[in-house]
Each structure stands twice: as structure tokens, then as C-alpha cells.
Amino acid sequence: MKPYDYLNDLDDLDQFEAELTGARKPKTPARNPKKLPESDAKFLQTQDDSRTNFKFTYKAARFEEGWLLNSLGGFYEHQWISDVLRKIRGGKEASVYLCRAGENIHADLLAVKVYRPRMLRNLKQDHIYREGRIDLGSDGKQLVKDADVHAVAKRTAYGEEIRHQSWIAYEFNTLRTLFEASVDVPQAYEMANNAILMDYIGDLSAAAPALSEISLDRAEAKELFDRSLHNIDLMLSKNFIHGDLSAYNILYWDGDITLIDFPQVVSPGNNRSAYQIFLRDVTRVCEYFIKFGVRANPRKIATDLWTSRGFHVFEEIHPRLLDAEDPQDRKLWERQNRGR
């Protein structure tokens, strides 16, 4: 699949969104396809041929179907998936679908998270998470072309697409690294320009609920609380802060937990808001378990975990400072950070 080719389907997606929300969108004229060199045309032709065989069980709305065919066609061609069975959850930023694995992945069922191109609009505070990040391309590697780096900085339409791609690459790379490190996350198998293929948590009849949807007795709550903190600490030891951790992003299945939803990960030593983001993650997790009788002091837990991993607590940074992206301010922070 070529990067950004789903952009050609934005008109369809607009229509799909309009159907979902009941809003009326003005019709946009169809775009004239660009003439391709013969070799590329042949390549696309073969892809299209095999994609036309991609029929799935899930009854998608008309425009959703086009969107899925476009997003998941590559997974189907590579025999990583053979069918889309149903939608697990549709959200503002992404929809997650249950798939039957294809011959080339040793699994029965898989989950695929398909991002909407609109995702960035919802990330109003994205600069806070982006600080200290290196943008990644569709191959999951650091951007190398100056033109791409420039486009991101200038926020051109193309640059926004690269940013979008970079969030997805971050989620994919993070899942891979954390799975290797034995953090309780789904194993991620493949990434396309707007989709991630990973282990499915649940069974054919039901997907795993999030902690937010279930109640726990006190003994199990204590056990899962300890397990959550173990995961948070293990992530920190690998230089990752989840950044949006809460009972909504921890799945529960068969007595075990699985952490999901990683596009906004933050690096603890490279982002001035890192401690605040970390504290918020720890606090949200504590608040959930406190409801079931677990005793926890989030601020103390966060500080202890943070400092025992050798990081310095910057509690005094005002959020406005973080908006400023002031190089002087950043230098000051780096000096303090080195002194830790």
C-alpha cells in the first residue's frame, strides 16, 4: 500500500462521517486520477485485482466499506487477515474491528485499529505530547527528507498527513517495544498508513471490557492495582509514559489486564510536561482502584516511581511555559534535567 493513498478517499470518508452524524456535507467533485508511469500502473492494477476479492462478513455502511477496503486491503493481500467480522468499538479518533487472521499470522482472531484522518483535529494539545519527539514516516523510521521535516514544521496539508502518520507509527513502535519488554500490551503485527493490526483481547462472542466497565472485589482490585503499577514502572524503565492511561484504556479478560491506546506516549527525559503527564496517569489509575477499597496516595506513588528511576520532578512548570516553545526555557530545563 502506498502512503497517503487513503487521502483519495477523503471524499468518501466525508460522506461516511456525514452519514454517521446525520450532517449534510456539500458534494465535492471527483478528483481526476493522475496519470501514472506504466510500471506503477501495473503495480496498482495487480493490487486492485486482488483487493476486489476482499469481501468481508461485517456489514459496513457504504462509505465505511470503502474506507475499510482501502485501509485494510494491504493486510488482506499479504494474508495477514482473511475477514473482518465485526466492529468492536467506533470512536472519534479510531474504530477497532475484530478480524479473522490470515494464513501468514499465527493467530485465530486479531484486532485492527483503523484511524480516522480527522484524528489530529481532536488532539488540541498535541504540542505537549510532541515535545521531544522525532517524527516518524510510514515505515516507522525517523523522517529523513528535509522536505518532509519542513512540511511538518510549516503545517502544510502534506505535513499534517505526516504528523498523522507519525502518531500511528509511535503507537505501533511502542506496542512492539513494550511487548518485547513483557509489558501487558497486545502484540502488534503490522502497520499500514492508518491502521494497526494486533492481538485481539476477548473471544468470538465478546471483546474484553475495559476496567471502567466492570466492578472488582477488593482482593482482585488490589492484585490488579499492583499489576497496573508494575506495568507503569516497567514502561518508565523503558522510557515510556503512556500519556492517556485510565480505566478506559486497560482491558480486563480472564483475570488479566492489557494496556492499550498508545499514540500519545511521552518520553520521561525529553519532555518538560513528562512528570505532570505521568502523575495524571498514576492518579487516574489510583482513582479507579480506590473505588474498590484499595488504599493509594497517587502523588506519593508517582514521585517514588519517578525518582527511583532517576528522573527529576519538575512540579513547578507552569502549563503556559509549555505552550511557549521558547528555546531559552527549554535550555534551562535541559540544564536542570542534566543535574538530576
Asked if 261 interacts with Mg ion (CB under 5 A), we say yes
Q: Which stretch binds ligand ADP (CB under 6 A): 136-144, 199-207, 218-226, 289-297?
A: 199-207
Minimum CB distance to ligand ADP, residue 199 (Å): 6
Binding mask 162-191 for ligand ADP (x = CB under 6 A): ------------------------x-----
Interacting partner of 246 out of ligand ADP, Mg ion, none (Cβ under 5 to 8 A depending on kind)? none
Q: Which of 72, 81, 201, 301 binds ligand ADP (CB under 6 A)?
A: 201
* Residue closer to ligand ADP, measured from CB, 99 or 143: 99
Q: Does 281 bind Mg ion (CB under 5 A)?
A: no
Write a three-state SS string for the chain. CCCCHHHHHHHHHHHHHHHHHCCCCCCCCCCCCCCCCHHHHHHHHHHHHHHCCCCCCCCCCHHHHHHHHHHHHHHHHCCCEEEEEEEEEECCCEEEEEEEECCCCCCCEEEEEEECCCHHHHCCCHHHHHCCCCCECCCCCECCCHHHHHHHHHCCHHHHHHHHHHHHHHHHHHHHHHHHCCCCCCCEEEEECCEEEEECCECCCCECCEHHHCCCCHHHHHHHHHHHHHHHHHHHHCCCECCCCCHHHEEEECCEEEECCCCCCECCCCCCCHHHHHHHHHHHHHHHHHCCCCCCCHHHHHHHHHHHCCCCCCCCCCHHHHHHCCHHHHHHHHHHHHCC
Least distance to ligand ADP, CB of residue 84, Å = 14
Is residue 105 at the binding interface for ligand ADP, with CB under 6 A as the rule?
Answer: no
Candidates 170, 253, 156, 266; CA nearest to 213 is: 253
174 binds, among Mg ion, ligand ADP, none (CB under 5 to 8 A by kind): none
Which residue number, 89 or 340, has a Cβ lying nearer to ligand ADP?
89
How many chain residues touch ligand ADP (CB under 6 A)? 20
The listed partner (ligand ADP, Mg ion, none) that binds 96, CB under 5 to 8 Å by sort, is ligand ADP
**282/229 Cα distance (integer angstroms):** 8
Considering only 89, 127, 141, 331, the residue that binds ligand ADP (CB under 6 A) is 89
- Taking CB under 6 A as the criterion, which residues in 217-256 touch ligand ADP? 249
Decide which of ligand ADP, Mg ion, none touches 161; Cβ closer than 5 to 8 Å per partner kind.
none
| Burial class of residue 330 (count of CB atoms within 10 Å of its CB; 0-12, 13-18, 19+) | middle
The correct pick among 68, 72, 96, 266 for binding ligand ADP (CB under 6 A) is: 96
Q: Which stretch binds ligand ADP (CB under 6 A): 18-26, 134-142, 195-203, 291-299?
A: 195-203
Q: Is 249 in the site for Mg ion (CB under 5 A)?
A: yes
Number of residues that bind Mg ion (CB under 5 A): 2
Judged by beta carbon, residue 169 or residue 250, the one nearer Mg ion is: 250
- Would you put residue 54 in left (φ > 0), alpha (ψ -120 to 50) or beta? beta
Q: Which is nearer to ligand ADP, 172 or 275 (CB)?
A: 172
The residues that touch Mg ion, with contacts defined as CB under 5 A, are: 249, 261
The residues that touch ligand ADP, with contacts defined as CB under 6 A, are: 88-89, 91, 93-94, 96, 111, 113, 186, 198-202, 207-208, 210, 249, 260-261
